[in-house]
Structure 1
Protein backbone atom coordinates (compact mmCIF):
# COMPACT_ATOMS: atom_id res chain seq x y z
CA UNK A 1 0.00 0.00 0.00
CA UNK A 2 1.45 3.35 -1.07
CA UNK A 3 0.69 6.15 1.37
CA UNK A 4 -0.02 9.81 0.51
CA UNK A 5 3.44 10.83 1.69
CA UNK A 6 4.97 8.53 -0.96
CA UNK A 7 2.77 10.07 -3.64
CA UNK A 8 3.86 13.56 -2.55
CA UNK A 9 7.55 12.65 -2.37
CA UNK A 10 7.64 10.94 -5.77
CA UNK A 11 5.68 13.76 -7.42
CA UNK A 12 8.15 16.31 -6.04
CA UNK A 13 11.03 14.17 -7.27
CA UNK A 14 9.40 14.10 -10.71
CA UNK A 15 9.69 17.89 -10.94
CA UNK A 16 13.47 17.55 -10.73
CA UNK A 17 13.67 14.61 -13.13
CA UNK A 18 11.41 16.38 -15.63
CA UNK A 19 13.68 19.43 -15.55
CA UNK A 20 16.81 17.32 -16.09
CA UNK A 21 15.22 15.21 -18.83
CA UNK A 22 14.06 18.29 -20.74
CA UNK A 23 17.60 19.64 -20.93
CA UNK A 24 19.97 16.69 -21.07
CA UNK A 25 18.15 13.43 -20.35
CA UNK A 26 19.12 11.10 -17.52
CA UNK A 27 16.23 11.84 -15.16
CA UNK A 28 15.78 8.10 -14.69
CA UNK A 29 19.04 8.18 -12.74
CA UNK A 30 17.01 9.80 -9.97
CA UNK A 31 13.49 8.50 -10.51
CA UNK A 32 14.10 4.78 -10.87
CA UNK A 33 16.00 4.45 -7.55
CA UNK A 34 13.27 6.57 -5.90
CA UNK A 35 10.54 4.23 -7.15
CA UNK A 36 12.45 1.15 -6.03
CA UNK A 37 13.14 2.73 -2.64
CA UNK A 38 9.39 3.36 -2.33
CA UNK A 39 8.90 -0.40 -2.53
CA UNK A 40 7.76 -0.93 -6.12
CA UNK A 41 8.86 -4.17 -7.79
CA UNK A 42 11.28 -3.52 -10.69
CA UNK A 43 8.79 -4.24 -13.47
CA UNK A 44 6.17 -1.91 -11.94
CA UNK A 45 8.81 0.76 -11.32
CA UNK A 46 9.89 0.62 -14.96
CA UNK A 47 6.36 0.79 -16.35
CA UNK A 48 5.14 3.50 -13.95
CA UNK A 49 8.25 5.58 -14.64
CA UNK A 50 7.41 5.54 -18.35
CA UNK A 51 4.08 7.26 -17.65
CA UNK A 52 5.64 10.23 -15.87
CA UNK A 53 8.49 10.35 -18.36
CA UNK A 54 6.05 10.40 -21.28
CA UNK A 55 4.12 13.33 -19.82
CA UNK A 56 7.20 15.34 -18.83
CA UNK A 57 8.89 14.78 -22.18
CA UNK A 58 5.63 15.63 -23.92
CA UNK A 59 5.51 18.99 -22.17
CA UNK A 60 9.14 19.66 -23.10
CA UNK A 61 8.39 18.68 -26.70
CA UNK A 62 5.50 21.16 -26.84
CA UNK A 63 7.75 23.92 -25.49
CA UNK A 64 10.57 23.17 -27.96
CA UNK A 65 8.13 23.11 -30.86
CA UNK A 66 6.72 26.50 -29.86
CA UNK A 67 10.31 27.77 -29.91
CA UNK A 68 10.56 26.60 -33.54
CA UNK A 69 13.36 24.10 -32.94
CA UNK A 70 11.85 21.29 -35.02
CA UNK A 71 9.00 20.45 -37.39
CA UNK A 72 6.95 17.26 -37.19
CA UNK A 73 6.28 16.81 -40.92
CA UNK A 74 9.83 16.04 -42.12
CA UNK A 75 10.39 13.73 -39.12
CA UNK A 76 7.34 11.49 -39.56
CA UNK A 77 9.40 8.52 -40.88
CA UNK A 78 11.74 8.75 -37.85
CA UNK A 79 8.74 8.97 -35.51
CA UNK A 80 7.24 5.80 -37.03
CA UNK A 81 10.51 3.85 -36.83
CA UNK A 82 11.28 4.96 -33.26
CA UNK A 83 7.72 4.04 -32.20
CA UNK A 84 8.02 0.56 -33.71
CA UNK A 85 11.45 0.01 -32.17
CA UNK A 86 10.34 1.10 -28.69
CA UNK A 87 7.20 -1.02 -28.86
CA UNK A 88 9.28 -4.08 -29.75
CA UNK A 89 11.80 -3.33 -27.01
CA UNK A 90 9.14 -2.90 -24.33
CA UNK A 91 7.57 -6.22 -25.30
CA UNK A 92 10.90 -8.06 -25.35
CA UNK A 93 12.10 -6.71 -21.98
CA UNK A 94 9.10 -8.23 -20.23
CA UNK A 95 10.50 -11.65 -21.17
CA UNK A 96 14.27 -11.21 -21.19
CA UNK A 97 16.67 -10.13 -18.43
CA UNK A 98 18.75 -7.03 -19.20
CA UNK A 99 21.91 -7.67 -17.14
CA UNK A 100 24.21 -7.95 -20.15
CA UNK A 101 22.85 -4.73 -21.62
CA UNK A 102 23.35 -3.06 -18.24
CA UNK A 103 27.07 -3.69 -18.62
CA UNK A 104 27.30 -2.37 -22.20
CA UNK A 105 25.35 0.85 -21.63
CA UNK A 106 27.83 2.50 -19.17
CA UNK A 107 30.55 2.21 -21.81
CA UNK A 108 28.28 3.88 -24.37
CA UNK A 109 27.35 6.66 -21.94
CA UNK A 110 31.00 7.26 -21.11
CA UNK A 111 31.63 7.62 -24.84
CA UNK A 112 28.80 10.17 -25.00
CA UNK A 113 30.40 12.21 -22.22
CA UNK A 114 33.86 12.08 -23.85
CA UNK A 115 32.43 13.09 -27.23
CA UNK A 116 30.52 15.97 -25.64
CA UNK A 117 33.66 17.24 -23.89
CA UNK A 118 36.07 17.06 -26.83
CA UNK A 119 33.95 17.49 -29.95
CA UNK A 120 33.96 21.01 -31.41
CA UNK A 121 30.60 20.13 -33.01
CA UNK A 122 28.70 20.19 -29.69
CA UNK A 123 27.46 23.74 -30.06
CA UNK A 124 24.45 25.50 -31.60
CA UNK A 125 25.88 25.75 -35.13
CA UNK A 126 24.47 23.36 -37.73
CA UNK A 127 27.00 21.50 -39.88
CA UNK A 128 27.05 19.05 -42.78
CA UNK A 129 25.34 15.77 -42.01
CA UNK A 130 27.13 12.44 -42.30
CA UNK A 131 23.92 10.51 -42.90
CA UNK A 132 20.67 11.79 -44.34
CA UNK A 133 17.22 11.55 -42.77
CA UNK A 134 16.71 8.08 -44.29
CA UNK A 135 20.11 6.87 -43.15
CA UNK A 136 19.32 7.93 -39.60
CA UNK A 137 16.21 5.72 -39.47
CA UNK A 138 18.22 2.63 -38.52
CA UNK A 139 19.97 4.53 -35.73
CA UNK A 140 16.70 6.01 -34.47
CA UNK A 141 14.97 2.63 -34.53
CA UNK A 142 17.81 1.04 -32.55
CA UNK A 143 17.71 3.78 -29.91
CA UNK A 144 13.93 3.45 -29.75
CA UNK A 145 14.26 -0.29 -29.16
CA UNK A 146 16.80 0.37 -26.44
CA UNK A 147 14.48 2.87 -24.74
CA UNK A 148 11.64 0.37 -24.64
CA UNK A 149 13.96 -2.42 -23.52
CA UNK A 150 16.08 -0.64 -20.92
CA UNK A 151 15.97 3.15 -21.12
CA UNK A 152 18.72 5.01 -19.21
CA UNK A 153 20.63 7.42 -21.44
CA UNK A 154 18.14 7.45 -24.33
CA UNK A 155 18.09 11.26 -24.43
CA UNK A 156 21.88 11.41 -24.54
CA UNK A 157 22.06 8.86 -27.36
CA UNK A 158 19.49 10.73 -29.46
CA UNK A 159 21.14 14.12 -28.88
CA UNK A 160 24.70 13.01 -29.65
CA UNK A 161 23.77 11.05 -32.78
CA UNK A 162 21.64 13.91 -34.10
CA UNK A 163 24.63 16.24 -33.67
CA UNK A 164 27.30 13.83 -34.87
CA UNK A 165 25.39 12.13 -37.71
CA UNK A 166 22.66 14.57 -38.77
CA UNK A 167 24.75 17.72 -38.25
CA UNK A 168 22.20 19.54 -36.08
CA UNK A 169 23.21 22.22 -33.61
CA UNK A 170 22.97 21.07 -30.00
CA UNK A 171 19.83 23.03 -29.10
CA UNK A 172 17.99 21.92 -32.26
CA UNK A 173 19.16 18.36 -31.62
CA UNK A 174 17.81 18.54 -28.06
CA UNK A 175 14.44 19.72 -29.34
CA UNK A 176 14.19 16.88 -31.88
CA UNK A 177 15.42 14.47 -29.20
CA UNK A 178 12.34 15.26 -27.11
CA UNK A 179 10.02 14.55 -30.05
CA UNK A 180 11.64 11.16 -30.65
CA UNK A 181 11.88 10.40 -26.94
CA UNK A 182 8.19 11.11 -26.27
CA UNK A 183 7.42 8.82 -29.21
CA UNK A 184 9.37 5.95 -27.66
CA UNK A 185 7.76 6.67 -24.28
CA UNK A 186 4.24 6.46 -25.74
CA UNK A 187 5.07 3.10 -27.33
CA UNK A 188 6.55 1.83 -24.07
CA UNK A 189 3.51 2.93 -22.04
CA UNK A 190 1.23 1.05 -24.45
CA UNK A 191 3.29 -2.13 -24.11
CA UNK A 192 3.68 -1.95 -20.31
CA UNK A 193 0.03 -0.98 -19.88
CA UNK A 194 -1.16 -3.98 -21.88
CA UNK A 195 1.18 -6.10 -19.78
CA UNK A 196 -0.42 -4.81 -16.56
CA UNK A 197 2.85 -3.34 -15.30
CA UNK A 198 1.81 0.25 -14.53
CA UNK A 199 0.40 1.84 -11.38
CA UNK A 200 -1.70 4.41 -13.20
CA UNK A 201 -2.70 6.65 -10.29
CA UNK A 202 0.88 6.98 -9.10
CA UNK A 203 2.11 7.45 -12.67
CA UNK A 204 -0.28 10.32 -13.38
CA UNK A 205 0.44 11.93 -10.00
CA UNK A 206 4.14 11.90 -10.84
CA UNK A 207 3.30 13.14 -14.33
CA UNK A 208 2.05 16.44 -12.87
CA UNK A 209 5.47 17.03 -11.37
CA UNK A 210 7.29 15.84 -14.46
CA UNK A 211 5.29 18.15 -16.75
CA UNK A 212 6.11 21.10 -14.52
CA UNK A 213 9.81 20.26 -14.57
CA UNK A 214 9.71 19.54 -18.30
CA UNK A 215 8.24 22.96 -19.13
CA UNK A 216 10.79 24.74 -16.94
CA UNK A 217 13.72 22.74 -18.32
CA UNK A 218 12.74 23.29 -21.96
CA UNK A 219 12.27 27.02 -21.28
CA UNK A 220 15.76 27.31 -19.82
CA UNK A 221 17.36 25.21 -22.57
CA UNK A 222 15.67 27.10 -25.43
CA UNK A 223 16.76 30.37 -23.86
CA UNK A 224 20.37 29.53 -22.94
CA UNK A 225 21.25 26.98 -25.64
CA UNK A 226 24.41 24.88 -25.75
CA UNK A 227 26.12 26.69 -22.87
CA UNK A 228 23.48 25.15 -20.55
CA UNK A 229 22.83 21.88 -22.37
CA UNK A 230 26.46 20.82 -22.89
CA UNK A 231 27.58 20.74 -19.21
CA UNK A 232 24.34 19.08 -18.10
CA UNK A 233 24.67 16.48 -20.87
CA UNK A 234 28.19 15.66 -19.66
CA UNK A 235 27.10 15.53 -16.00
CA UNK A 236 24.08 13.33 -16.74
CA UNK A 237 26.13 10.93 -18.86
CA UNK A 238 28.90 10.55 -16.27
CA UNK A 239 26.45 10.26 -13.37
CA UNK A 240 24.41 7.62 -15.13
CA UNK A 241 27.56 5.73 -16.11
CA UNK A 242 28.71 5.56 -12.49
CA UNK A 243 25.26 4.54 -11.27
CA UNK A 244 24.92 1.70 -13.79
CA UNK A 245 28.46 0.39 -13.21
CA UNK A 246 27.93 0.39 -9.44
CA UNK A 247 24.59 -1.35 -9.78
CA UNK A 248 25.98 -3.97 -12.13
CA UNK A 249 28.86 -4.96 -9.82
CA UNK A 250 26.50 -5.07 -6.86
CA UNK A 251 24.40 -7.56 -8.83
Structure 2
Protein backbone atom coordinates (compact mmCIF):
# COMPACT_ATOMS: atom_id res chain seq x y z
CA UNK A 1 0.00 0.00 0.00
CA UNK A 2 1.06 3.58 -0.61
CA UNK A 3 1.53 6.12 2.18
CA UNK A 4 -1.68 7.84 1.02
CA UNK A 5 -3.65 4.58 1.36
CA UNK A 6 -2.24 4.04 4.85
CA UNK A 7 -3.40 7.56 5.74
CA UNK A 8 -6.89 6.69 4.45
CA UNK A 9 -6.94 3.60 6.67
CA UNK A 10 -5.88 5.65 9.69
CA UNK A 11 -8.57 8.32 9.15
CA UNK A 12 -11.27 5.68 8.55
CA UNK A 13 -10.24 3.77 11.67
CA UNK A 14 -10.09 6.95 13.77
CA UNK A 15 -13.59 8.07 12.74
CA UNK A 16 -15.14 4.61 13.02
CA UNK A 17 -13.76 3.91 16.47
CA UNK A 18 -14.47 7.38 17.85
CA UNK A 19 -18.15 6.98 16.98
CA UNK A 20 -18.09 3.40 18.27
CA UNK A 21 -16.64 4.44 21.62
CA UNK A 22 -19.17 7.24 21.93
CA UNK A 23 -22.24 5.16 21.08
CA UNK A 24 -21.26 1.77 22.52
CA UNK A 25 -20.44 -0.12 19.32
CA UNK A 26 -20.63 -0.03 15.55
CA UNK A 27 -17.04 0.49 14.34
CA UNK A 28 -17.65 -2.04 11.58
CA UNK A 29 -20.28 0.23 10.02
CA UNK A 30 -17.50 2.33 8.47
CA UNK A 31 -14.30 0.34 8.81
CA UNK A 32 -15.30 -3.09 7.48
CA UNK A 33 -16.91 -1.95 4.19
CA UNK A 34 -13.87 0.24 3.47
CA UNK A 35 -11.55 -2.75 3.86
CA UNK A 36 -13.62 -4.62 1.27
CA UNK A 37 -13.71 -1.55 -0.99
CA UNK A 38 -9.89 -1.38 -0.85
CA UNK A 39 -9.63 -4.93 -2.14
CA UNK A 40 -9.80 -7.45 0.72
CA UNK A 41 -12.05 -10.50 0.55
CA UNK A 42 -14.88 -10.82 3.09
CA UNK A 43 -13.02 -13.34 5.28
CA UNK A 44 -9.69 -11.47 5.25
CA UNK A 45 -11.42 -8.12 5.87
CA UNK A 46 -13.37 -9.60 8.79
CA UNK A 47 -10.27 -11.07 10.45
CA UNK A 48 -8.26 -7.87 9.90
CA UNK A 49 -11.11 -5.74 11.27
CA UNK A 50 -11.37 -7.92 14.40
CA UNK A 51 -7.67 -7.56 15.16
CA UNK A 52 -7.80 -3.78 14.67
CA UNK A 53 -10.87 -3.52 16.91
CA UNK A 54 -8.90 -4.87 19.86
CA UNK A 55 -7.12 -1.52 20.04
CA UNK A 56 -10.53 0.12 20.57
CA UNK A 57 -10.77 -1.70 23.89
CA UNK A 58 -7.24 -0.66 24.82
CA UNK A 59 -8.02 2.98 24.08
CA UNK A 60 -11.19 2.79 26.16
CA UNK A 61 -9.31 1.23 29.07
CA UNK A 62 -6.82 4.09 29.08
CA UNK A 63 -9.70 6.55 29.55
CA UNK A 64 -12.26 4.65 31.64
CA UNK A 65 -9.95 3.18 34.26
CA UNK A 66 -9.40 6.66 35.67
CA UNK A 67 -13.09 7.30 36.28
CA UNK A 68 -15.07 4.04 36.14
CA UNK A 69 -15.17 1.06 38.47
CA UNK A 70 -16.27 -2.12 36.77
CA UNK A 71 -18.14 -4.61 38.98
CA UNK A 72 -16.44 -7.99 39.16
CA UNK A 73 -19.69 -9.90 38.69
CA UNK A 74 -20.41 -8.25 35.34
CA UNK A 75 -16.82 -8.56 34.16
CA UNK A 76 -16.99 -12.30 34.88
CA UNK A 77 -20.43 -12.64 33.29
CA UNK A 78 -19.42 -10.99 30.01
CA UNK A 79 -16.26 -13.07 29.78
CA UNK A 80 -17.66 -16.46 30.83
CA UNK A 81 -20.89 -16.16 28.81
CA UNK A 82 -19.62 -14.21 25.82
CA UNK A 83 -16.22 -15.67 24.90
CA UNK A 84 -17.45 -19.22 24.05
CA UNK A 85 -20.10 -17.65 21.82
CA UNK A 86 -17.49 -15.55 20.02
CA UNK A 87 -15.36 -18.62 19.25
CA UNK A 88 -18.44 -20.53 18.03
CA UNK A 89 -19.52 -17.61 15.85
CA UNK A 90 -16.03 -17.28 14.37
CA UNK A 91 -16.17 -20.92 13.29
CA UNK A 92 -19.67 -20.60 11.84
CA UNK A 93 -19.14 -17.50 9.69
CA UNK A 94 -16.38 -19.04 7.57
CA UNK A 95 -18.60 -22.03 6.79
CA UNK A 96 -22.15 -20.65 6.47
CA UNK A 97 -22.37 -17.11 5.05
CA UNK A 98 -26.04 -16.16 5.18
CA UNK A 99 -27.41 -13.03 3.51
CA UNK A 100 -30.86 -13.58 5.01
CA UNK A 101 -29.34 -13.46 8.50
CA UNK A 102 -27.71 -10.11 7.69
CA UNK A 103 -31.04 -8.63 6.57
CA UNK A 104 -32.79 -9.94 9.68
CA UNK A 105 -30.01 -8.53 11.86
CA UNK A 106 -30.29 -5.20 10.04
CA UNK A 107 -34.01 -4.98 10.79
CA UNK A 108 -33.42 -5.88 14.43
CA UNK A 109 -30.53 -3.43 14.80
CA UNK A 110 -32.54 -0.58 13.32
CA UNK A 111 -35.39 -1.49 15.64
CA UNK A 112 -33.08 -0.99 18.63
CA UNK A 113 -32.50 2.61 17.60
CA UNK A 114 -36.20 3.24 17.04
CA UNK A 115 -37.06 1.68 20.42
CA UNK A 116 -34.46 3.83 22.17
CA UNK A 117 -35.74 6.95 20.40
CA UNK A 118 -39.32 6.22 21.44
CA UNK A 119 -38.25 5.65 25.07
CA UNK A 120 -36.89 9.06 26.19
CA UNK A 121 -35.80 8.01 29.70
CA UNK A 122 -34.11 4.75 28.66
CA UNK A 123 -30.61 4.44 30.13
CA UNK A 124 -30.54 7.92 31.63
CA UNK A 125 -30.36 6.78 35.26
CA UNK A 126 -28.68 3.88 37.00
CA UNK A 127 -31.47 1.60 38.29
CA UNK A 128 -29.98 -1.81 39.24
CA UNK A 129 -32.25 -4.81 38.72
CA UNK A 130 -32.18 -8.59 38.13
CA UNK A 131 -29.03 -9.09 40.21
CA UNK A 132 -30.10 -12.53 41.47
CA UNK A 133 -29.07 -15.98 40.20
CA UNK A 134 -32.00 -16.23 37.79
CA UNK A 135 -31.36 -12.77 36.41
CA UNK A 136 -27.68 -13.52 35.81
CA UNK A 137 -28.53 -16.89 34.22
CA UNK A 138 -30.94 -15.39 31.68
CA UNK A 139 -28.67 -12.41 31.15
CA UNK A 140 -25.69 -14.70 30.55
CA UNK A 141 -27.65 -16.79 28.06
CA UNK A 142 -28.42 -13.69 26.04
CA UNK A 143 -24.77 -12.60 26.20
CA UNK A 144 -23.70 -16.02 24.85
CA UNK A 145 -26.00 -15.51 21.86
CA UNK A 146 -24.63 -11.99 21.37
CA UNK A 147 -21.14 -13.48 21.50
CA UNK A 148 -22.04 -15.79 18.61
CA UNK A 149 -23.21 -12.76 16.64
CA UNK A 150 -20.03 -10.88 17.55
CA UNK A 151 -17.85 -13.70 16.24
CA UNK A 152 -19.77 -14.15 13.01
CA UNK A 153 -20.88 -10.66 11.98
CA UNK A 154 -19.09 -7.36 11.53
CA UNK A 155 -21.34 -4.51 12.65
CA UNK A 156 -23.56 -3.69 15.55
CA UNK A 157 -23.09 -6.50 18.05
CA UNK A 158 -21.50 -4.18 20.61
CA UNK A 159 -24.62 -2.05 20.40
CA UNK A 160 -26.73 -5.10 21.30
CA UNK A 161 -24.60 -5.70 24.38
CA UNK A 162 -24.90 -2.05 25.41
CA UNK A 163 -28.69 -2.04 25.15
CA UNK A 164 -28.99 -5.44 26.82
CA UNK A 165 -27.06 -4.20 29.86
CA UNK A 166 -29.37 -1.17 30.00
CA UNK A 167 -32.63 -3.09 29.57
CA UNK A 168 -31.94 -6.24 31.59
CA UNK A 169 -29.65 -5.06 34.37
CA UNK A 170 -30.80 -1.43 34.65
CA UNK A 171 -27.52 0.25 33.79
CA UNK A 172 -27.35 3.77 32.43
CA UNK A 173 -25.83 4.25 28.97
CA UNK A 174 -22.51 5.58 30.22
CA UNK A 175 -21.92 2.61 32.51
CA UNK A 176 -23.08 0.08 29.88
CA UNK A 177 -20.82 1.60 27.20
CA UNK A 178 -17.81 1.23 29.53
CA UNK A 179 -18.44 -2.52 29.87
CA UNK A 180 -19.02 -2.92 26.14
CA UNK A 181 -15.91 -1.06 25.04
CA UNK A 182 -13.53 -2.74 27.47
CA UNK A 183 -14.87 -6.31 27.54
CA UNK A 184 -16.37 -6.63 24.06
CA UNK A 185 -13.82 -4.36 22.40
CA UNK A 186 -10.78 -5.98 23.96
CA UNK A 187 -11.65 -9.53 25.01
CA UNK A 188 -14.49 -10.56 22.68
CA UNK A 189 -12.84 -9.03 19.62
CA UNK A 190 -9.51 -10.47 20.73
CA UNK A 191 -10.99 -13.97 20.88
CA UNK A 192 -12.67 -13.42 17.50
CA UNK A 193 -9.40 -12.22 15.99
CA UNK A 194 -7.52 -15.28 17.25
CA UNK A 195 -10.22 -17.64 15.97
CA UNK A 196 -10.42 -16.02 12.54
CA UNK A 197 -6.63 -15.70 12.36
CA UNK A 198 -6.26 -19.45 12.91
CA UNK A 199 -9.00 -20.38 10.45
CA UNK A 200 -8.39 -17.66 7.86
CA UNK A 201 -5.94 -14.91 6.91
CA UNK A 202 -5.10 -11.47 8.31
CA UNK A 203 -3.65 -8.60 6.27
CA UNK A 204 -0.84 -7.74 8.67
CA UNK A 205 0.66 -4.89 6.63
CA UNK A 206 -2.64 -2.95 6.91
CA UNK A 207 -2.81 -3.25 10.68
CA UNK A 208 -0.46 -0.47 11.92
CA UNK A 209 -2.67 2.33 10.55
CA UNK A 210 -5.86 0.54 11.67
CA UNK A 211 -4.54 -0.18 15.17
CA UNK A 212 -3.26 3.37 15.67
CA UNK A 213 -6.61 4.84 14.56
CA UNK A 214 -8.54 2.40 16.77
CA UNK A 215 -6.43 3.20 19.82
CA UNK A 216 -6.81 6.97 19.48
CA UNK A 217 -10.48 6.70 18.48
CA UNK A 218 -11.24 4.47 21.48
CA UNK A 219 -9.68 6.97 23.85
CA UNK A 220 -11.25 10.03 22.18
CA UNK A 221 -14.74 8.54 21.97
CA UNK A 222 -14.58 7.38 25.59
CA UNK A 223 -13.48 10.85 26.66
CA UNK A 224 -16.41 12.44 24.80
CA UNK A 225 -18.85 9.91 26.29
CA UNK A 226 -17.72 10.74 29.82
CA UNK A 227 -17.77 14.46 29.10
CA UNK A 228 -21.15 14.65 27.35
CA UNK A 229 -23.11 12.16 29.47
CA UNK A 230 -26.03 9.78 28.95
CA UNK A 231 -28.22 12.02 26.78
CA UNK A 232 -25.59 12.43 24.06
CA UNK A 233 -24.59 8.76 24.25
CA UNK A 234 -28.24 7.78 23.77
CA UNK A 235 -28.58 9.98 20.68
CA UNK A 236 -25.36 8.61 19.17
CA UNK A 237 -26.55 5.07 19.93
CA UNK A 238 -29.80 5.70 18.07
CA UNK A 239 -28.08 7.21 15.03
CA UNK A 240 -25.49 4.42 14.76
CA UNK A 241 -28.05 1.60 15.16
CA UNK A 242 -30.23 3.06 12.40
CA UNK A 243 -27.25 3.48 10.05
CA UNK A 244 -26.00 -0.05 10.73
CA UNK A 245 -29.50 -1.43 10.18
CA UNK A 246 -29.72 0.27 6.79
CA UNK A 247 -26.21 -0.90 5.82
CA UNK A 248 -26.94 -4.52 6.73
CA UNK A 249 -30.24 -4.52 4.85
CA UNK A 250 -28.81 -2.93 1.70
CA UNK A 251 -25.66 -5.04 1.79
CA UNK A 252 -21.92 -4.23 1.80
CA UNK A 253 -20.36 -1.66 -0.52
Tell me if both proteins adopt one fold, taking TM over 0.5 as the criterion: yes
Gap change, CA 1:65 and 1:98, over 3 Å in 2: farther
What whole-Å deviation, never above 9, does each CA across 1:203-244 have from its counterpart, x for those lacking one? 233110111011000011012111220111111011111111
The Cα shift of 1:52 comes to 1.2
The Cα shift of 1:32 comes to 1.3
**Structure 2 counterpart of 1:156, from 159, 162, 169:** 159
* 1:221 lines up with 2:225 in the alignment: yes
The Cα shift of 1:98 comes to 2.5
**Structure 2 counterpart of 1:206, from 201, 205, 210:** 210
Match of 2:106 in 1: 106
Match of 1:83 in 2: 83
Given that residues 110 and 246 in structure 2 are in contact (C-alpha distance below 8 angstroms), is that contact kept between their aligned partners in structure 1? no
The Cα shift of 1:72 comes to 4.3
| Cα distance in 2, alignment partners of residues 230 and 154 from structure 1 | 16
SS in structure 2 at match of 1:133: helix
| Cα distance in 2, alignment partners of residues 39 and 119 from structure 1 | 41
Match of 1:7 in 2: 6
Given that residues 26 and 237 in structure 1 are in contact (C-alpha distance below 8 angstroms), is that contact kept between their aligned partners in structure 2? yes
TM-score, structure 1 normalization: 0.92
Gap change, CA 1:222 and 1:67, over 3 Å in 2: same
Given that residues 123 and 170 in structure 1 are in contact (C-alpha distance below 8 angstroms), is that contact kept between their aligned partners in structure 2? yes
TM-score, structure 2 normalization: 0.91
Gap change, CA 1:230 and 1:69, over 3 Å in 2: farther
| Cα RMSD after superposing both structures | 1.8
What whole-Å deviation, never above 9, does each CA across 1:61-89 have from its counterpart, x for those lacking one? 34223221523465213212211110110
* 1:116 lines up with 2:116 in the alignment: yes
The Cα shift of 1:246 comes to 1.4
**Unaligned segments of structure 1, at least 5 residues:** none
**Structure 2 counterpart of 1:166, from 169, 184, 189:** 169
**Unaligned segments of structure 2, at least 5 residues:** none
Pairs aligned (count): 248
Gap change, CA 1:62 and 1:50, over 3 Å in 2: same
SS in structure 1 at match of 2:136: coil
| Cα distance in 1, alignment partners of residues 109 and 240 from structure 2 | 9
Gap change, CA 1:201 and 1:111, over 3 Å in 2: same
Match of 1:136 in 2: 139
Match of 2:60 in 1: 60
SS in structure 2 at match of 1:66: coil
